[in-house]
Amino acid sequence: MLKRLLLAAAAVVVIGIAIAAILLSGSQEDVVAERPDIPFAPLTDKAMKDPDNPTKIFHVDFAKVEHDFPLSRADLMKLTPASLLALEQEEIDQIYGRLTTGPIPDGAYEGDLFFARSEDGLKTRLEEILGGLKGRAAGIKVDLLEKLGRSLWKGKMFYRDQRILRNFIEDFEPLRPLIDNPETLMTAQVAREGWLGFFKSTTNVWLLFPAKLYCGQSLLDSRRESVVIDYAYTDELPNYHPSPDSLAGRGGLQVRDEIRMVRPGFYLGRAYIKRLFLLNFTLYNAEVAAAGAEAFAGGEAIAEDCWVGEQIRNAAAQ
């Protein structure tokens, strides 16, 4: 009991220090993202009797969206991790529903995350739903949580041949009391974001929260598979650290991610807790993106590791 209390107290101190550091260092969200010029299905129901008070469509027919508003290679080349921040969640969902998995990634991918947004990406969905003072207060909390996540989570390391991955977590000194044997952790170097990058271009990260990789049904769009990142059996993987890795496993938050490829080197992901949608994330490898850009833009076939669905096959055959 005493150990749990001490760990809880340490966690509070760690979060407080992290929040202070984040507020001082800023975030890339402070820059207003530019909206990408790509097609979307309407987000309002034109069949409503009152055209002045349309209702958002939250359950999209992805087959119809893909048929009526296909995304070309040129459209996908316009998308960047930053440009997605300017979109509403229903638009993010529409993009995801028109993607396939492409090849399962391999190596290091830088990551970013963001919660559901509305009004051209300027408000969180929770803020819009609650409205008024409660909405603004909730928006502030979500914004802070998002900045905390961005500050600590830096991306993922994929081990394609082994069908596993590990997450890049900032080597943040106050977190060490919460980690079993931190000196035994696997580590890597990733690029440092923000003004701190002027002083040191890279930062040391821990490789935590291992997960299994496989092709599986998307929780959003069941017409085709996604690459599933499954933390349910994280305790069976090498270099497992019960604290904190168990937090994501079947005895903890039961985290499940899934990703699809936007274009080579760039993946869009969705994170779930106990099968409930939590947030969006992006993964980007600049080297892979540069190497595959010309061939992708020119229409070269993409290696698909997962089932692409009948709709794609029919379109390819015509």
How confident is the model over 235-252, as a mean pLDDT?
92
Model pLDDT, residue 138:
42
Beta bridge partners of 169: 153, 206
Q: How far is CA 242 from the centre of its chain?
A: 24
| Rounded CA separation 306/86 (Å) | 29
Residue 37 above 90 pLDDT? yes
73-91 pLDDT, tens digit per residue, is 999 999 999 999 999 999 9
| Rounded CA separation 94/231 (Å) | 26
Residue 245's pLDDT band (cuts 50, 70, 90) = very high
Residue 46's pLDDT band (cuts 50, 70, 90) = low
Segments making up each domain of the chain, as ranges: 2-317
Residue 285 above 60 pLDDT? yes
Residue 19's pLDDT band (cuts 50, 70, 90) = very low
| Rounded CA separation 78/268 (Å) | 14
214: part of which helix (H) or strand (E)? strand 202-217
How confident is the model over 54-83, as a mean pLDDT?
87
Model pLDDT, residue 118:
63
130-171 pLDDT, tens digit per residue, is 444 444 444 445 566 666 777 789 999 999 999 999 999 988
Contacts of residue 37, defined as CB under 8 A and 6 or more positions apart, other chains included, come to: 78
What is the torsional sign of CA 117, 122, 124, 128? negative
Mean pLDDT computed over every residue of the chain: 80
